[in-house]
Structure 1
Amino acid sequence: MDTVIYAGPKNILFQKNQKPILTKGWAIIKTSYAGICGSDLSIFAGVHPRAEAPLVMGHEFSGTIEEGHPTLKKGTRVTVNPLLRCGECHPCRNGYSHVCENLKLVGIDCDGGMGEYVKVPIHSIVPLKDNISMKLGALIEPVAVAVHAIRQGNYISGDSVVIFGAGTIGLCVALTLRSYGAKKLIIVEPNKLRIEKAKELGFQTIDPLSDSITEKILEETGNVGVDYVFDCAGHPSVVEAITDVVKVRGNIIVVAMYKQPPILDMRQGMFKELIIKFVRVYTDKDFQIAIDLVGDHKEYEEIITHVLQPEEAEKGFELLTRQTDAVKVMYEFNRRQL
């Protein structure tokens, strides 16, 4: 079967591999689309703490049941919740398995969806609704990240928002917030090509390379600041700004993973009595909400900027590690499916 393989730092290969062997409690999915995530870029860079070469990456994917599922027949359209929970630690035993102390993911700790076939636990398979395309089915996972961030942040409809970062997660958060009733929403992004994508989706933007973030946002909010800040960038420069642009007793939701511990102005956080919330992945309920949202709001598909064939394995990672207009890049493995 065709696969996209992580063969070592900065080394991505198109490779023919054997189809996975079915084992008890698992099922085989015939992959349709698989997206490249920020975690995959960490693997590509050789800095992910768990991923080991050779590895078939991919934890955002859609496909059809091939074999091994006890109730879903062959050909059923599905996506996958890729979280692998131990079921035994304190968080798992107390209803917080998404922050399992031993959390692992399909596509990081075992082979994932960047291949024609992928083996996944039966309980992780989620059927897709008929009104969701297979491409959108591969976008459910990042939308679930957005849903979780917004729900955990206790966002209230109508409150003002600044989002740092117009990558996949940032745009998913923006679209999800808009569906939740956000009216005043600004996206901060230095990549001019991604700024254009955000504008195409109807969002107000700030380019920090040409404008003062703090001045622009205070000007937009009558010198008060915004109710919510969502950090979807994970860049040290963002940390310098987030406590400035949020209002007194405002909310900061940290969604992005930082490569190095940043320096946060704790004094300003105290003076303003800010609420800072950190979030990680999603719950099963968040995942189901994401499916409903994607079915009702087809504009999520506009986040998908590039669909490549597996033979273009290297190109996918080049698009996302250089200054391009790429947001969500996917590989297509079943060219006969729509």
Structure 2
Amino acid sequence: METVTYAGPKNILFQNNRKPTITKGWAIIKTSYAGICGSDLSIFAGVHPRAEAPLVMGHEFSGTIEEGHPTLKKGTRVTVNPLLRCGECYPCQNGYSHVCENLKLVGIDCDGGMGEYVKVPIHSIVPLKDNISMKLGALIEPVAVAVHAIRQGNYMPGDSVVIFGAGTIGLCVALTLRSYGAKNLIIVEPNKLRLEKAKQLGFQTLDPLSENVTEKIVEGTDNIGADYVFDCAGHPSVVEAITEVVRVRGNIVIVAMYKQPPTLDMRQGMFKELNIQFVRVYTDKDFQIAIDLVDNHKEYEDIITHVLQPEEAQKGFDLLTTHTDAVKVMYEFNRGEL
């Protein structure tokens, strides 16, 4: 079967691998689309702490049941919740399995969706609604990340919001907030091409390379500051800004994974009595909410900027590691399917 395989740092190959075989409790999915995530870029760079070559990456994907599912017939359109939980640690035993102490993911700790076929746990397979395209089906996972961040942050409709980062997660957070009734929402992004994508989606934007972000946000909120700040960028310069642009007793939600521990102004956090919420992945309920959202808000598909063939394996990663307009890049395996 055709695969996009991580062969070592900055070495992505298009190659043929053996089709996976059924094992107890697992089923085979015929992949339709698979997206490149920030975690995949860490794997590509050779800095992910768990991923080992050779590896078929991909934990954001859609497809159809091929074999091995006890109730869903062959051809059923599905997506996959890629979290692999141990079921035995304290978080798993107390209803917080999404932060399992031994959490693993399909596409990181075992072969994933960047191949014609993928083997996944039966319990992780989630049927897609009829109106959701297969491309959107492969976007459910990052939308679930956004849903979880917003729900854990306890956002209330009407609150003002600043989002740092106009990548996939930042735009998913913005679209999800808008679907929840957010009106006063600003996206901060230094990449002019991504900033243009945010504008095309109808959002107010700020360019930190040419504008005083703190000044603009404070002025735009009657010198109070934003009610909520979502850090979807994971860049040290953002950490310096988030405590400045949020109001007294405001809310900061850290969504992005930082490659290195950043320096946060704890004094500012104390003086303003800020609420800082860290979030990780999503719960099963978040995943289902994401499916409902995508079913009713097809504009999420506008986040998908590039759909490549698996033969263009290296190109997908080049697009996301150089200055381009790429936001969400996907590989198409079931060619010609919508």
Alignment of 1:205-216 (within 5 A): 205-216=205-216
Q: Which moved more, 1:240-249 or 1:213-222?
A: 213-222
1:166-202 deviations in whole A, cap 9, x for unaligned?
0000000000000001000000000000000000000
Q: Which residue of 1 aligns with 2:50?
A: 50
1:287 and 2:282 are equivalent in the alignment: no
Runs of 4+ in 1 over 4 A off after TM superposition: none
Structure 2 counterpart SS, 1:194:
helix
Alpha-carbon distance in structure 1 between the residues aligned to 2:127 and 2:10: 34
2:204 corresponds to which letter in structure 1?
Q
Q: Which residue of 1 aligns with 2:167?
A: 167
Q: Which residue of 2 aligns with 1:316?
A: 316
Deviation at 1:222, TM superposition (A): 1.1
Structure 1 counterpart SS, 2:31:
strand
Structure 2 counterpart SS, 1:329:
strand
Alpha-carbon distance in structure 2 between the residues aligned to 1:133 and 1:21: 27
Structure 1 counterpart SS, 2:64:
strand
2:274 corresponds to which letter in structure 1?
L
Q: Which residue of 2 aligns with 1:157?
A: 157
Q: Which residue of 2 aligns with 1:259?
A: 259
1:266-300 deviations in whole A, cap 9, x for unaligned?
00000000000000000000000000000000000
Deviation at 1:140, TM superposition (A): 0.1
Q: Which residue of 2 aligns with 1:233?
A: 233
Q: Which residue of 2 aligns with 1:191?
A: 191
What percentage of residue pairs aligned between the two structures are identical?
A: 89
Q: Which moved more, 1:215-224 or 1:268-277?
A: 215-224
Deviation at 1:332, TM superposition (A): 0.1
Q: Which residue of 2 aligns with 1:69?
A: 69
TM-score (ref. length: structure 1): 1.00
TM-score (ref. length: structure 2): 1.00
Structure 1 counterpart SS, 2:306:
strand
Deviation at 1:10, TM superposition (A): 0.4
1:330 corresponds to which letter in structure 2?
M
Structure 2: which 5+ runs fail to align?
A: none
Alpha-carbon distance in structure 2 between the residues aligned to 1:231 and 1:15: 37
Q: Which residue of 2 aligns with 1:177?
A: 177
Deviation at 1:337, TM superposition (A): 2.0
1:316 corresponds to which letter in structure 2?
G
Q: Which residue of 1 aligns with 2:219?
A: 219
Q: Which residue of 1 aligns with 2:298?
A: 298
1:137 corresponds to which letter in structure 2?
G
Q: Which residue of 2 aligns with 1:134?
A: 134
1:92-134 deviations in whole A, cap 9, x for unaligned?
0000000000000000000000000000000000000001000
Structure 2 counterpart SS, 1:34:
strand
1:167 corresponds to which letter in structure 2?
G
1:28-65 deviations in whole A, cap 9, x for unaligned?
00000000000000000000000000000000000000
Q: Which moved more, 1:246-255 or 1:218-227?
A: 218-227
1:82 and 2:82 are equivalent in the alignment: yes
Structure 1 counterpart SS, 2:52:
coil
The number of aligned residues is: 338
Q: Which residue of 2 aligns with 1:9?
A: 9
1:47-84 deviations in whole A, cap 9, x for unaligned?
00000000000000000000000000000000000000
Deviation at 1:146, TM superposition (A): 0.1
